Structure 1
C-alpha cells in the first residue's frame, strides 16, 4: 500500500479523525486517548497502530506509558495534494 493510500485509509475512520483532533492540542498517552471512546482498549490500540503506520502520529515510550503526537509533515503532504487536485479540477471546469 502506498503512503498516500495508507494515509487516506487512516483518515477514513471517524474515530481516527477524532484522535487526530485530540492530538492537535498536544501529546497524549494511549490511556488518555482511550478514555475518550466507548470502545475497547484493543480497538483504540489498533486505531493508533493504523495512524502510526500511515505516519500521521509518532509514539514515544516513557516508562510504562506510550505517548502519541501528531506528525504534521504527513498532513501537510495530504493538504498539498488536495489543493493541487482542487486546482486541477478548477482549471478543467473553467476550460469547458
Structure 2
C-alpha cells in the first residue's frame, strides 16, 4: 500500500475516530460500533478501508474479530510529513538569505 491509500483512509472522520479508539487497545467490531450512530455495515466498510491501508490489523478469536492499531504505518507517515516539513523550512530559509 502506498501513502496515497493511507492518506485516503485517514481522510474520513469516522476512520480517524476508529483509530483514536484503537490507540487505547484492541476492540471488537461490536465494541467499535457502539461509539458511532451508523450501521454495522458502515463500520465494517470503514474497518475494511483501514485494514487495506494497513492502519489496523485484525485477529479472530472464536466468533469475534478484534482490531488493533498498526502504529508502524502511522510512524512512516509522520516521518514523511516531518521530512516534507523540514524540506520546506530549509527552502524558505535559503530564499531569505
Coarse TM-score class (shorter-chain normalised): over 0.9
CA distance in 1, matches of 2:94, 2:31: 51
- Number of aligned positions between the proteins: 95
Any unmatched runs of 5+ in structure 2?
A: none
Partner SS for 2:89: helix
How far does residue 81 in structure 1 lie from its aligned partner after superposition? 0.2
How far does residue 78 in structure 1 lie from its aligned partner after superposition? 0.3
How far does residue 64 in structure 1 lie from its aligned partner after superposition? 1.0
Q: Is 1:25 matched up with 2:24? A: yes
* Structure whose alpha-carbon radius of gyration is higher: 2
Report the TM-score when normalising by structure 2.
Answer: 0.96
| Equivalent residue runs for 1:1-96 within 5 Å | 2-96=1-95
How far does residue 15 in structure 1 lie from its aligned partner after superposition? 0.4
Report the TM-score when normalising by structure 1.
Answer: 0.96
The list of structure 1 runs, each at least 4 consecutive aligned residues, that deviate by more than 2 angstroms after superposition, is none
CA distance in 1, matches of 2:2, 2:41: 24
How far does residue 18 in structure 1 lie from its aligned partner after superposition? 0.4
How far does residue 76 in structure 1 lie from its aligned partner after superposition? 0.5
Any unmatched runs of 5+ in structure 1?
A: none
